[in-house]
């Protein structure tokens, strides 16, 4: 194992340790459980939250324009997730953790 790989592992463990401490105070943080269980990095998590914000804005814009079908957003999210995550698990975890509620309530309809 190279020095860079070792540092990456240490950083991942430190990030997951922070999430575990948050989970101790609030066991309902389902998304954090998924992140830890699937070895998702802090960078991947940041990308996910950024994507959620963008998609939430798209959803609001599309609703204002009269759209009623949001399957393309569902498809975009499913393609953007790390391969270890399942879309169904992510949607349920985000709903339980109340992350971008309107977005994930809408996307839940496509499961």
Q: How many CA atoms lie within 13 A of 93 on its CB side?
A: 16
Range of the domain at 31: 3-108
pLDDT by residue for the chain (111 residues), tens digit each?
A: 899 999 999 999 999 999 999 999 999 999 999 999 999 999 999 999 999 999 999 999 999 999 999 999 999 999 999 999 999 999 999 999 999 999 999 999 999
Taking the C-alpha atoms of residue 104 and residue 14, their distance in angstroms, rounded to an integer, is 29
Residues 6 or more apart from 45 whose CB is under 8 A from it? 15, 35
pTM: 0.92
Taking the C-alpha atoms of residue 40 and residue 42, their distance in angstroms, rounded to an integer, is 7
CB-CB neighbours of 39 under 10 Å: 11
CA distances from 69 to 44, 52, 66, 107 (A): 28, 18, 9, 10
Q: What CATH number does the domain containing 80 carry? A: 1.10.3750.10
What is the number of domains present in the chain?
Answer: 1
> Which run of H or E residues covers position 48?
helix 42-64
């Amino acid at each position: 194992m190279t020095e860079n790989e070792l540092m990456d592992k240490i950083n991942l463990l430190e990030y997951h340790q922070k999430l575990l401490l948050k989970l101790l105070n609030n066991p309902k943080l389902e998304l954090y459980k998924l992140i830890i269980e699937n070895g998702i990095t802090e960078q991947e998590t940041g990308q996910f939250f950024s994507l959620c914000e963008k998609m939430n804005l798209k959803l609001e814009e599309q609703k204002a324009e009269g759209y009623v079908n949001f399957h393309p957003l569902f498809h975009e999210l499913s393609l953007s997730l790390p391969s270890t995550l399942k879309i169904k698990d992510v949607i349920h975890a985000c709903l339980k953790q109340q992350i971008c509620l309107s977005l994930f309530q809408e996307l839940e309809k496509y499961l």
